[in-house]
Amino acid sequence: MGFFKEFKEDFNTAVGEMIPDSQEEPVEEVMVNTLDGDIDVESELNKLDGLLEQVSKKVENPTEAAPLPEAKAEPEKKSFFDNKKNTTEAPKKMDVMGSGVSNAPASDENAIITSGMKVTGNIESIGSIAVEGEINGDVTCQGKLTITGKVTGNSSSAEFFADAAKIEGEVSTTGTAKVGVGSVIIGNITATSAVIAGAVKGDIDVNGPVVVDTSAVVMGNIKSRSVQINNGAVIEGFCSQSYSDVDVNSVFAN
């Protein structure tokens, strides 16, 4: 009786196609012995009817056979900017105009205006500036200002040195002003000390000492604590030691 065996195999194959492997529950296998004894056809048919009823229930209610896994909530994604802290600070102000130089220490930066450059406009630096070319504008720096070229405009620095330079404008420094041989300055000079070896057409106002060297030509008044005029220097103007510690009026008092 191979008929029932073949029918069972075909039936199991059809059931496997109707129900996915992931949701299929093991079905009790009905063993049919076709080798020994006579086959009770009615009993075998009843067994197949019971198996068919179980399969029909699984097909009608697939969710009961294998419940779907619960969906896991995905972690909330945070924006890159959510982790950033507000670290904005108010910009620091730097007073480079007016009195000239900020109280902040000068930087090691050294800007060079080469001999082939011509700049039109103001220049500011937290370091030093060396002008070998030409600038038409004001120059401000917190370091040393060295001019060997030409500047048309006011200058402000922590230290000033002109060597064979041509300058038209006010010169203001919180340190020493040195005017070398061959330099021509048309404008007033304000400093804490000064050494003049070139030509200056303007007043010189220095809180400390002033040295007017042999090659110097000064057309203007000199106001200082003390003044040294070397032989050969030319001065057309008044010299006043108004910053001296000596009370001049007390010397001539009765």
Q: Is position 105 within any domain?
A: no
Q: Is position 146 within any domain?
A: yes
Residues 148 and 230 in one domain: yes
Q: Is position 97 within any domain?
A: no
Q: Decide: 194 and 213 in contact? Cβ < 8 Å.
A: no
Residues 213 and 132 in one domain: yes
Q: Which domain holds residue 37?
A: 2-65
Residue keyed to tokens 């039109």: 120
191 has pLDDT over 80: yes
120 has pLDDT over 60: yes
- Please state which of the ranges 7-11, 139-143, 205-209 shows the lowest mean pLDDT: 7-11
What percent of the chain stands above pLDDT 90?
Answer: 52
Q: How many domains does the chain have?
A: 2
- pTM for this one? 0.59
Residues 55 and 114 in one domain: no
Residues 39 and 135 in one domain: no
Residues 32 and 134 in one domain: no
Confidence of residue 251 (pLDDT cuts 50, 70, 90): confident
Residues 127 and 240 in one domain: yes
Confidence of residue 84 (pLDDT cuts 50, 70, 90): very low
Residues 59 and 114 in one domain: no
Degrees to nearest 5, angle at CA 245 with 239 and 246: 75
Q: Is position 156 within any domain?
A: yes
Q: Is position 12 within any domain?
A: yes
Q: Is position 71 within any domain?
A: no
Confidence of residue 155 (pLDDT cuts 50, 70, 90): very high
Cα dihedral: 224, 226, 230, 235 (round 10): 30
Q: Specify the pLDDT at position 253.
A: 79
What percent of the chain stands above pLDDT 70?
Answer: 58
Residues 53 and 115 in one domain: no
80 has pLDDT over 50: no
Q: Is position 89 within any domain?
A: no
Q: Specify the pLDDT at position 225.
A: 95
91 has pLDDT over 50: no
Q: Is position 88 within any domain?
A: no
